[in-house]
Amino acid sequence: MTRVHTLALLLALLPLTALATDDLPADPESLAEGAAIFERRCSQCHGLDHVIYKAPWLNGLIGRPAAAVPDFPYSEAMRAWGGVWTVENLKLWLTKPDELIPGTDMNFGGFSRRTEDRDKVIAWLMEATRDTVTEATRP
Ligand code: HEC
């Protein structure tokens, strides 16, 4: 009896856990807003064109290990962190950079009060930072 209940409970929870990892907006309006937010809040430092401005470029970001752009002078804190840029880590990072990686050089306050903006920019970045193999290996 208990086993049946446990199984029923697990099955009932399945859709919820799926949502928890994949709850980014996907509608065209949100993605367009994500692009505008990037333009306003990130692009003065970050490029999507393999060029270092004030910050490392973000090409190929999703799944990329932290501090992996050659020639960018990362902080000791960022180098020591050792994480990978998954959606979950990006959420933490963009909510409060200093909380995920205390001592980081990224001078950005975070979206702590506007998590819907954070999620829109991450959803847009998932598309916009996707490198084709040829682009990624271009000298
Ligand atoms: C004022 C400049 C500035 C702004 C604005 C800024 N960043 Fe950054 N960002 C940095 C710097 C500098 C680093 C490297 C930090 C370090 O070495 O500690 C960084 C690091 C990162 C990293 C890690 C990159 C890697 O190679 O590991 C990500 C991801 C990132 N920023 C995303 C964003 C996003 C998305 C926004 C806009 C919501 C943003 N940043 C806004 C300067 C900025």
The total of other beta-carbon atoms located within 10 Å of residue 54's CB is: 12
For residues 56 and 72, the answer to whether their CB atoms sit within 8 Å is yes
pLDDT confidence bin for 133, thresholds 50/70/90: very low
Which helix or strand (DSSP H or E) is residue 108 part of?
none
Whether residue 6 is predicted with pLDDT greater than 90 in this model: the reply is no
pLDDT confidence bin for 2, thresholds 50/70/90: low
Residue 123 Cβ contacting ligand 1 at under 6 Å: no
- Does domain 25-137 fall under CATH 1.10.760.10? My reply is yes
For residues 55 and 106, the answer to whether their CB atoms sit within 8 Å is yes
Mean pLDDT to the nearest integer, 14-20: 45
pLDDT digits (tens, 9 = 90+) for 72-82: 999 999 999 99
Residue nearest to atom 13 of ligand 1 (CA): 106
Q: List strand residue ranges (DSSP E) for the chain, in order.
A: none
Domain boundaries, the chain: 25-137
> Ligand 1, closest atom to CA 57?
26
pLDDT recorded at residue 60: 96
Say how many Å lie between the CA of residue 54 and the centre of ligand 1.
9
pLDDT confidence bin for 131, thresholds 50/70/90: confident
